[in-house]
C-alpha cells in the first residue's frame, strides 16, 4: 500500500466515523426519529366520532372483516366542511389498509396497534374510504363514506 492509498483509506474511515457520529447526534441530541404514524394509544374495540369543538373532531376507525366502523357500527359519518379531524385507526381482526380518497390519509390498520394522522376536510363532498390490503373474500366490498357538507 502506498502513501496515497493509506491517506485515502484513513480519510474514508474518518468520514464514516463522522457520518456515524452525526446519525447518533441526530437521534440522541436532536431527537430526530424515523417517521412513524404508529402511536402508543391503546387499541380500541369500537368506532367512535367525538366532537371536540367547532369543526374539531376525533375519529376512531375500527377496521374489521369487512367494513369500517366509524361510529358505533356506522359505516358512514357526516361532518361540516372545514373540519379538522384527528383520525386514529386500528383493526379488530386482520391487517387492513385504510385510504380516504381525495386526501393523503393512507394508513395500515394493524391489530394491536393504533395509527394516526390528522386530516382537514376543506371541500364538501363524499370521501370514499377503501381498504387497500387484501383481507379476505369481502375485501373488495370493504368501504365507507365520510360525507363533508
Ligand atoms: Cu380490509 Cu381489505
Range of the domain at 52: 36-148
* CATH code for position 87: 2.60.40.420
User: CA separation (Å) from 43 to 118, 136, 145?
Assistant: 18, 22, 22
Ligand 1 binding pocket includes 129 (Cβ within 6 Å): no
Whether residues 65 and 14 share a domain: the answer is no
Q: How many domains is the chain built from?
A: 2
14-72 confidence digits (pLDDT tens): 999 998 898 888 878 887 766 566 788 889 999 999 999 999 999 999 999 999 999 99
Query: Residue 20: phi, psi to the nearest 5?
Result: -60, -45
Whether residues 1 and 67 share a domain: the answer is no
Ligand 1 binding pocket includes 139 (Cβ within 6 Å): yes
Residues with Cβ < 8 Å from 76, sequence gap 6 or more? 70, 144, 145, 146, 147
Gap between the Cα atoms of 66 and 56, Å rounded:
28
Distance (angstroms) between ligand 1 centre and the Cα of 121 equals: 24
Whether residues 53 and 41 share a domain: the answer is yes
Evaluate if pTM is beyond 0.85: no
Whether residues 97 and 137 share a domain: the answer is yes
Whether residues 14 and 86 share a domain: the answer is no
Amino acid at each position: 500500500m502506498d502513501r496515497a492509498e493509506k491517506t485515502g483509506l484513513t480519510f474514508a474511515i474518518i468520514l464514516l466515523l463522522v457520518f456515524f457520529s452525526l446519525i447518533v447526534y441526530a437521534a440522541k441530541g436532536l431527537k430526530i426519529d424515523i417517521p412513524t404514524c404508529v402511536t402508543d394509544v391503546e387499541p380500541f374495540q369500537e368506532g367512535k366520532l367525538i366532537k371536540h369543538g367547532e369543526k374539531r373532531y376525533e375519529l376512531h376507525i375500527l377496521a374489521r372483516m369487512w367494513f369500517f366502523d366509524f361510529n358505533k357500527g356506522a359505516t358512514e359519518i357526516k361532518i361540516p366542511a372545514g373540519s379538522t379531524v384527528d383520525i386514529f385507526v386500528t383493526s379488530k381482526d386482520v391487517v387492513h389498509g385504510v385510504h380516504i380518497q381525495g386526501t393523503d390519509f393512507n394508513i395500515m390498520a394493524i391489530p394491536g396497534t393504533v395509527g394516526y394522522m390528522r386530516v382537514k376536510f376543506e371541500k364538501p363532498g363524499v370521501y370514499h374510504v377503501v381498504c387497500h390490503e387484501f383481507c379476505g373474500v369481502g375485501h373488495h366490498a370493504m368501504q365507507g363514506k365520510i360525507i363533508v357538507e
